[in-house]
Structures are given as C-alpha cells and as structure tokens.
Amino acid sequence: MVNTRVELCGLPLDNPVIPASGTFGFGYEFAELYDINCLGTFSFKGTTLSPRYGNATPRIAESDSGMLNAVGLQNPGVEKVISEELPKLAQCFDKPVMANVSGFSVEEYVATSQALESCAQIGWLEINISCPNVHGGGMSFGTSATAAAEVTRAVKAVTRKPVIMKLSPNVTDIAAIAKACEDAGADGISLVNTFLGMKIDLKTKKPLLANKTGGLSGPAIKPLAVRMVYQVYEAVNIPIVGMGGITTAEDVLEFMLAGATAVEVGAANLISPYASKQIIDALPQVMERYGITSLEEIIGKGH
C-alpha cells in the first residue's frame, strides 16, 4: 500500500495534484463530470479586486507541444467570488481550496487578500505576481526581488492563511526572487507561471494573439520548469508547488524529486477535463513501479 499524502504549508493533502489557476474555473464546472474531492485541492480562477473582462480576442493559440494564452485575468472580482462562486463550490467540494490572487498594485493585492481572509473555505492564498498577459502590473512584481518581497510582506500583514508566492520564469535568477519572498515571510513558492511567447499568423502576417504576446504552457516548458524547481529548492526552506507541462503521474514524481511538495496541472485540463483525475488514479501504480512507498519521502531526493 502506497501513501500519496503530503502536507502543504501545514495543511494536509490526500495527494499532491492541484489543478492550476485559470484551467479549472471555480471547480463546480468540473464537478458535473466527476467528484472533484479526489483532488488534493485546486487553485481557482485568478481573482482581482474589481471585475475584469480580460484581453481582446483571439487570446488562445495552439503551439507545438503547448499553447499560448493571453486571457488577461478575466474574472468577476473578489466581491462576487465570495458571494456567488464560493457558495456554489461549497455544494460540491469539502476540502480547503487555494485562492489565486492577482493585482496591479501592492494595495490591490492587500485589499483582495484581506477580503478573502474571512472565507473559511480558503486554505491558502496563491499570490500571482507573474502573469505575463496584463499591462500595468502582473508580471512586473515578479521580475524584481525587491518588488516581490514588498508584495509578500504586505499580504502577510493582513492574513493568517499560508501565503504562496507564484513566480514568473521570465527572469534571470528565479532562485534569488524566491529567497527574497521567503525572507519577507512567504510560506511557500509556486512556480513556474508561463513563458512569454508569440505566434505570427502567416495569412495576416501579424501576431495571432490580439495581445501580441502570450504565456506559453504545456509539455514544451516542462524541462525548464523542472530545472527552476530544482534551483529554487536549493535556495529556500519553504515548500514549493511545481508546475509546467505536467500530463502524467511520472511527471508528478519528477517534479517532486526536483523539490516540489505538490504540483499543479494546467494546460492538460484544457485538453481533457479528466486530466487531473487520471493522473491521481495512475499515481499509486506508478509509485509501486518505481519502488516508492511514500511521496513525502521523495521530495527533493533528486538532489
């Protein structure tokens, strides 16, 4: 009998598989297809203080071994998330959920986090300082160690929930930024978000996405993501949530050996709504194949 349980920032997970923000809505949509309580947890749609309609279309494009997206944080705003989305989720999900918080100023990150603090359903705040598809905020906070630390300190001051900082891979030294977040009080690090990319339409001879650039995700980025998780594990002493191109149970083990305590599944959910469930179902058998009895025991063992 294998043990798939892990602990993320003091909260237990039945398994380390977490659908990533922006690929799983607010959860109840997927609950129409299967019992989502099989998940470790999930990170719900990126939430801002005010409602956002997102970027102009087209904002999704296929790419070799992946996809580009420039959705632009479309969401109903934190007030409606609390009053409408979370009550719907409560009817089909009985575990703590991860809230993904985005913003365009330190004050907005603080206000949104403060609003979510009173929600008993929320177990963790995943602070997204790494979105490459919005202007005037988003990724800019995640490309500077000083700015990343400032957001971390400000959010930690208004919440007792574990704060996990979601970092951008579009930087020179991701380990230094992760360390700055840890020093500022972060409880965990989430990485990586998408890589900035572009696709040009040969018919129009212009960028295919209305936003011109978008975030590349999917299997194409997995080796880069594994490398960054490996580097950050050697720089910090707080848990890491690893992501980037995960499609199989074997991928989960690889990220955990690199140093991840849990993993997020993103683009795979957009290819098949059952992707996360299938990975969870396969995990015990794959663990047995590689002689692994407990997932907690392999975290960082690739070092």
Catalytic residue annotation: 131
Q: How many helices (H) and strands (E) does the chain have?
A: 10, 15
Omega before 58 cis (within 30°)? yes
Helix (H) or strand (E) holding 122: strand 122-128
Q: How many residues does the chain have?
A: 303
Q: Which residue has the tokens 């990170």?
A: 43
Asked if 40 and 19 count as a contact pair (C-beta separation under 8 A), the reply is no
Could you tell me where the DSSP H helices lie in 117-247?
145-156, 174-183, 222-233
- The tokens for 44 are 């719900």
* Distance between CA atoms of residues 175 and 145, nearest Å: 10
Tally Cβ neighbours within 10 Å of residue 89.
21
Distance from CA of residue 222 to its chain's centroid? 14
Rounded CA Rg of the chain: 18
Of the candidates 281, 279, 271, the one whose C-alpha atom is nearest the C-alpha of residue 251 is 279
CA separation, residue 191 to residues 33, 175, 282 (Å) = 28, 11, 23
